[in-house]
Amino acid sequence: MLYPGIKNSTVDFSNYSYCHIIAEIGLNHNGSIELAKENIRKSVIAGCTYVKIQKRSPLDLSSKGMLIDKFDKCPAFGSNQLQVRDRHEFTKKQYLELANYAESYGALLFTSVFDIPSLEFALDCNCKIIKIASHSNTNSQLLNKINEYKLPSIMSTGGASIQEIDEAVNLLSDCNLSLMHCVSAYPTPKELASLGTIPFLHERYSLPVGFSSHENGISQSIASAALGACMIERHVTLSQTMEGLDHKISLNFEELSSLRNHINNIVGTINIKKEIFEQEFSARNNYHVGIYALRDIQKGEILKTGENIRLCQPAGDFRINLTGLEVNSSNKPVEVISNIKEGEQIKKNQVS
């Protein structure tokens, strides 16, 4: 099966004629494979062809003290981070079941990896894309290991300086790498969104650049598409009122569908206009100004506005008729090479 941007298991997000939306289910499945499947199904219905979860090995990722300290963010799932994190981890069998389920809907499932055992898990599951979360963009050990496998990878840039992004991109030089501008503030207020970073990163690294957003709503995400983001990652949830780690900073599926519709209306509009479109000819020919003789003009005369010519509508065919800029913007005098009668529109082939 071919997905947008994917051919022969090689991912390329550099096609800016389409903006992908990655539905970040993340941990919002709450450890339930059935909830994960429902998130996948609704993500596809909303217009996503990529869906993503997260994979951690808590004992390899975090210090013992961090894992066993009191953690009261979601007490129904445990009293410390180790209990909460373990609840959200899927087995290989479960991951493959979810991947096959996503594929049955025409979508590709992949995962963020936060540590080397999780990377090895993803590789063992034949994961087609490796996501490097903002939390991992300074983990040089992990980045070097990812680079060894030369897999398509996407790295978020939240919480990193430009110098750190430079280093991380250098460490991932053998990957088919894409970047995601990201601000690690939950939620991200508009004054911190810094969306101009998207074209900045694209110019700096000559890599595809998207936007991983933690905003409330969809305004920043829509704007990112207009700035050339080739992909947008948003956390999604069945309900923002569910207990769990990320539900409150996630989009519901009505919002996700609205985002897809807005982006569809933007993509294809950010090209650069350097020529006159054929569709503009009618308005230009009728409402731009042409050059008309104020009186009879003799061969050899120099055209001068207000003396022997005037500028007025209609311009007519600009490929044939003389334009105002050709007379008044040139340092070289425009000389008439044939007699012209009063009121006649002057053509290009009548002057030198």
In the chain, which residue ranges form alpha helices assigned H by DSSP?
33-45, 58-61, 64-68, 81-87, 92-104, 116-124, 140-149, 162-171, 197-205, 219-226, 253-266, 281-287, 324-328
Residue 2 has a pLDDT of 36
Mean pLDDT for the stretch of residues 157-163: 97
Residue 269 has a pLDDT of 86
In a domain, 125, yes or no: yes
The verdict on 249 and 285 lying in the same domain is no
Domain range for 325 is 278-350
Residue 12 has a pLDDT of 60
CA–CA dist 248, 270 (Å, integer): 32
The verdict on 22 and 136 lying in the same domain is yes
Residue 178 has a pLDDT of 95
- pLDDT by residue (tens digit) across 194-223? 999 999 999 999 999 999 999 999 999 999
Mean pLDDT for the stretch of residues 18-23: 92
Final residue of a domain: which of 266, 293, 319?
A: 266
In a domain, 98, yes or no: yes
Task: Reply yes or no on whether the pLDDT at 72 is more than 80.
Answer: no
Average pLDDT over all residues of the chain: 90
Residue 4 has a pLDDT of 45
Residue 16 has a pLDDT of 64
The verdict on 56 and 109 lying in the same domain is yes
Q: Point out the least confidently predicted range of 78-87, 269-278, 307-316.
A: 78-87
Mean pLDDT for the stretch of residues 74-93: 78
In a domain, 1, yes or no: no
Percent of the residues in the chain that have a pLDDT greater than 90, as a whole number: 74
For residue 301, the 8-state DSSP code is P
In a domain, 344, yes or no: yes
Query: Which residues have CB under 8 Å from 271's CB, separation 6+?
Result: none
Total residue count of the chain as it appears in this document: 352
The verdict on 136 and 195 lying in the same domain is yes
What type of residue sits at position 195? L
* DSSP per-residue letters across 24-57: EEETTTTT-HHHHHHHHHHHHHTT-SEEEEEE--
We report the CATH number of the domain holding residue 217 as 3.20.20.70
Mean pLDDT for the stretch of residues 170-183: 95
More confident residue, 75 or 240: 240
Strands 10-11 and 6-7: antiparallel
Final residue of a domain: which of 220, 246, 266?
A: 266
In a domain, 7, yes or no: no
Query: Which residues have CB under 8 Å from 204's CB, separation 6+?
Result: none
The verdict on 252 and 290 lying in the same domain is no
In a domain, 62, yes or no: yes
Place 15 in a pLDDT band, splitting at 50, 70 and 90: low
Place 330 in a pLDDT band, splitting at 50, 70 and 90: low
Final residue of a domain: which of 213, 232, 266?
A: 266
CA–CA dist 98, 80 (Å, integer): 27
Residue 6 has a pLDDT of 40
Task: Reply yes or no on whether the pLDDT at 49 is more than 60.
Answer: yes
Task: Reply yes or no on whether the pLDDT at 24 is more than 90.
Answer: yes
Provide the domain count of the chain: 2
The verdict on 161 and 310 lying in the same domain is no
The verdict on 253 and 115 lying in the same domain is yes
In a domain, 186, yes or no: yes
In a domain, 346, yes or no: yes
Residue 70 has a pLDDT of 78
The verdict on 124 and 25 lying in the same domain is yes
Residue 28 has a pLDDT of 87
Place 10 in a pLDDT band, splitting at 50, 70 and 90: very low
More confident residue, 127 or 244: 127
The verdict on 254 and 282 lying in the same domain is no
Mean pLDDT for the stretch of residues 300-319: 94
The verdict on 199 and 58 lying in the same domain is yes
Task: Reply yes or no on whether the pLDDT at 234 is more than 70.
Answer: yes
More confident residue, 38 or 248: 38
CA–CA dist 327, 346 (Å, integer): 11
What type of residue sits at position 291? I
Mean pLDDT for the stretch of residues 11-29: 81
The verdict on 213 and 72 lying in the same domain is yes
The verdict on 284 and 316 lying in the same domain is yes
We report the CATH number of the domain holding residue 332 as 3.90.1210.10
CA–CA dist 169, 164 (Å, integer): 9
Residue 73 has a pLDDT of 76
Task: Reply yes or no on whether the pLDDT at 58 is more than 80.
Answer: no
User: Angle formed by the axes of helices 92-104 and 33-45, to 10°?
Assistant: 20
Residue 7 has a pLDDT of 37
Place 1 in a pLDDT band, splitting at 50, 70 and 90: very low
Percent of the residues in the chain that have a pLDDT greater than 70, as a whole number: 94
- pLDDT by residue (tens digit) across 332-351? 899 999 999 999 999 999 99
Give percent helix, percent strand, percent coil of the chain, each to the nearest 5: 40, 20, 45
Residue 252 contacts residue 240 (beta carbons within 8 Å): yes
Task: Reply yes or no on whether the pLDDT at 3 is more than 80.
Answer: no
